[in-house]
Amino acid sequence: MEDTDRFLLKLKGYYFDRLSVDIGFIENLDDFEIREDDVFIVTYPKSGTIWLQQLLSLIYFEEHREGTGKLETVTRVPFFEYNFQKIDFGKRPSPRLFSTHLSYYLVPRGLKNKRAKIIYVYRNPKDVMCSNFHFEKNVKLQFTSTFEAFMKLFLEGRVLGSLWFDHIKGWYEHRSLFNIQFMTYEEMKQDLRGSVLKICKFLGKELSEEDMDTVVRQATFENMKYDPLANYDKIITTAYGTNVKGHFLRKGTIGDWKSHMTVEQNESFDKIFQREMKDFPLKFIWDV
Ligand code: A3P
């Protein structure tokens, strides 16, 4: 048995984090009541989820912008399938903000009726894989083998979130069922202000120039890394113990895969990518 298998739980054909998932909640997901003004961030793990959680909470909550509402981002924008803080979602005031890694076919029926808004953020999968490798190894301390071994698991989909190719293709090919905006990690990295404007336009929110400046400033990597309310350091130690060696906000760059993958690994990744994604129209940014 591989290291990771002990920490994954396959339910409805999808790999969940065994330690954090509420099986009863997942079994009844289809009927979860969606409100018109709910907003969901959807990502494959390690694609910038926490970044979007920070952005949405800054856009929606003035107290967070001013730093007076001393709540962690993950409390303002909780994970849907990993309800770490045991929030009663039904009693939560509107607008409710959620983040999820779920595949398109697992989400509540109400979302498929375009009842709520979804922002789907994707990132080039080589960087996703490398970020994930560090996360499993240094943060969750759930993987002790080599990068080569992790790459094999990633390409077989035996990781949290299952197969990357299925996740993005599933959401994209079924996009007409949803009220969904696709964005990339890389465009956020290259033009954060432009990305915030795009998000605001989709959500029907208007920010003053001053508020926009504040949102952009507080959502930079540098700010989030050192803002204890904007990173998951506390959640991580609660969920995985206190001897973590890494951070959720690790490097935050485009093209970090080049310092991890050998020429051979890169070539074999490319071959699989081309086969899996050959008719896929969205473009990826691999490097800057
Ligand atoms: P790295 O491990 O490559 O640094 P997720 O929240 O989906 O798990 O994604 C985590 C990844 O997003 C990490 O990538 C993290 O550093 C990066 N990230 C988070 N906030 C960021 C920000 N403000 N700017 C750039 N990257 C960010």
| CA distances (Å), origin 75, targets 57, 82, 155 | 10, 12, 32
Q: Answer yes or no: is 288 within a domain.
A: no
Ligand 1: centre distance to CA 94 (Å): 27
Q: Answer yes or no: is 269 within a domain.
A: yes
Instruction: Determine the atom of ligand 1 nearest the C-alpha atom of 221.
Output: 23
Ligand 1: centre distance to CA 221 (Å): 8
Query: What's residue 237's pLDDT?
Result: 78
Q: Which domain holds residue 150?
A: 3-276
Instruction: Determine the atom of ligand 1 nearest the C-alpha atom of 135.
Output: 2
Q: Answer yes or no: is 212 within a domain.
A: yes
What ipTM score was computed for the predicted complex, to two decimals? 0.99
Instruction: Determine the atom of ligand 1 nearest the C-alpha atom of 224.
Output: 23
Ligand 1: centre distance to CA 132 (Å): 10
Tally of CB atoms within 10 A around 157: 15
Of the residues 79, 249, 250, which should be mutated to test ligand 1's pocket, given the most ligand atoms within 8 Å of the CB? 249
Q: What is the CATH number of the domain that holds 193?
A: 3.40.50.300
Ligand 1: centre distance to CA 51 (Å): 7
Ligand 1: centre distance to CA 43 (Å): 12
Q: Is 174 among the catalytic positions? A: no
Query: What's residue 144's pLDDT?
Result: 85
Query: What's residue 247's pLDDT?
Result: 81
Query: What's residue 3's pLDDT?
Result: 62
Query: What's residue 122's pLDDT?
Result: 98
Q: Please give all residues whose beta carbon lies within 6 A of any atom in ligand 1, as ranges.
A: 43, 45-51, 127, 131, 134, 189, 219-221, 224, 249-252, 256
Place of tokens 């979302």: 111
Q: Answer yes or no: is 33 within a domain.
A: yes
Q: Looking at ligand 1, which residue's alpha carbon is closest to its atom 25?
A: 252
Q: Answer yes or no: is 136 within a domain.
A: yes
Total number of domains in the chain: 1
Half-sphere exposure of 11 (CA within 13 A, CB side): 17
Q: Answer yes or no: is 286 within a domain.
A: no
Instruction: Determine the atom of ligand 1 nearest the C-alpha atom of 44.
Output: 7
Instruction: Determine the atom of ligand 1 nearest the C-alpha atom of 132.
Output: 2
Ligand 1: centre distance to CA 275 (Å): 27
Q: Answer yes or no: is 281 within a domain.
A: no
Of the residues 82, 248, 286, which should be mutated to test ligand 1's pocket, given the most ligand atoms within 8 Å of the CB? 248
Give the pLDDT of the chain (288 residues) as one tens digit per residue: 566 677 999 999 999 999 889 999 999 999 999 999 999 999 999 999 999 999 999 999 988 888 877 888 889 999 999 998 899 999 999 999 999 999 999 999 999 988 899 999 999 999 999 999 999 998 888 888 999 999 999 999 999 999 999 999 999 999 999 999 999 999 999 999 999 999 999 999 999 999 999 999 999 999 999 888 888 877 777 777 777 777 889 999 999 999 999 999 999 999 999 999 999 999 999 999
Q: Answer yes or no: is 283 within a domain.
A: no
Of the residues 127, 131, 195, 261, which should be mutated to test ligand 1's pocket, given the most ligand atoms within 8 Å of the CB? 131
Active-site residue, from 64, 101, 134, 167:
101
Torsion-angle region of residue 203: left (phi > 0), alpha (psi -120 to 50) or beta? alpha
